[in-house]
Amino acid sequence: MLKAYIVDDEPLARDELKYLLNRSKEVEVIGEGDGIDVALMEITSLKPDLIFIDIELDSENGLSLAQHLEFLNPPPAIVFATAYDEYALQAFESNAVDYILKPFDENRLQRTLEKISNLRYRGQETPDASKLIKQNNDKLVILVDERIVLLHHDDILFLHSSEGKSTIKTIENEYKVSEPLVVLEKKLNNTAFIRVHRSFIVHMDHIVEIEPWFNSTYNLRLKDGSTVPVSRTYVKDLKRKIGF
């Protein structure tokens, strides 16, 4: 059974969530708090497997609590439980396992618990938080028409910038986002992506051909037939990473 801790400054919201978790027969709520300082102290002592955090806590912000919890060993799995959907993008960037909205829906909460159960290590009683974090780190979280979309890195072919906006081309779709390419590049740091042009970042595993072009530049042909240019500025870095 999972041990959970609830952080919310509204007693009624804590009671509602606690009631639904108890009904699931999968979770034991071992503590609750209404502020960051008390919650952090009790969480460090109680060592729950799972923490539900409201984002707007009186004058505090639950996202900052999540940042502190990353340094625990092992770090608990985090689910943000809030009335505000505008923080979802930041929440997933904070390695949250899930993001649920108030008023709580029992079926939606059950899907969250199932998601956590599916991520458990074999033979372990509790979920391994480092594995949960790794899974979220393998995805790029973007905001598209007020929808939060999680793109697995391996599904992304390349990212392209034009007129201050970015296009993300995946194996099956194309997404236009308002974030500039430099911001997306930071999110993809230390991954299989490489910048090959001022306006292009490409996933190296999708490159199938490197074609010489003019003035010491190249074109990359990708698995889906797309062509991505390589400017002279980035040729040396591409050669080093590809190995040619």
Whole-prediction pTM: 0.56
**Residues 203/228, Cβ–Cβ less than 8 Å:** no
Query: What are the extents of the domains in the chain?
Result: 2-137, 140-242
Classify domain 140-242 at the CATH superfamily level.
Answer: LytTr DNA-binding domain (2.40.50.1020)
Q: What is the pLDDT of residues 58-79, one digit of tens each?
A: 778 888 888 888 888 888 889 9
Q: What is the pLDDT of residues 132-147, one digit of tens each?
A: 444 456 888 887 776 7
- Alpha helices per DSSP H over the chain: 11-24, 36-46, 62-69, 88-93, 106-118, 129-137, 181-187, 232-242
Pick from 99-103, 183-187, 213-217: least confident: 213-217
Q: Which of 7, 16, 134 is nearest to 60 (CA)?
A: 7
Is the pLDDT score of 241 beyond 90?
no
Mean of the per-residue pLDDT values of the chain: 86
Q: What integer pLDDT is reported at residue 192 of this predicted model?
A: 92
Distance from chain centroid for Cα 213: 37
| Helix, strand, coil percentages for the chain (3-state, nearest 5) | 35, 35, 30
What is the DSSP-derived secondary structure letter of residue 55? S
Residue 68 token pair: 């502190």
pLDDT > 70 in the chain, percent: 91
The residue-averaged pLDDT of 218-230 equals 94
Q: In what order do the strands lie in the sheet with 193-197?
A: 174-177, 165-170, 156-162, 200-203, 193-197
Query: What is the rounded CA–CA span in Å between residue 122 and residue 133?
Result: 17
pLDDT band at 230 (very low <50, low <70, confident <90, very high): very high
Q: Which residue has the higher pLDDT, 87 or 114?
A: 114
Is the pLDDT score of 52 beyond 70?
yes
Task: List 209's β-bridge partners, or say none.
Answer: 221
Pick from 96-110, 122-136, 164-178, 191-205: least confident: 122-136
Q: Which CATH class is domain 2-137?
A: alpha beta
> Three-state DSSP class for 107?
helix
The residue-averaged pLDDT of 76-103 equals 82
**Residues 211/219, Cβ–Cβ less than 8 Å:** yes
Q: What integer pLDDT is reported at residue 89 of this predicted model?
A: 72
Residue 205 token pair: 């595993």
Q: What integer pLDDT is reported at residue 125 of this predicted model?
A: 43
Strand 147-152 and strand 139-144: the pairing is antiparallel
Q: What integer pLDDT is reported at residue 83 of this predicted model?
A: 86
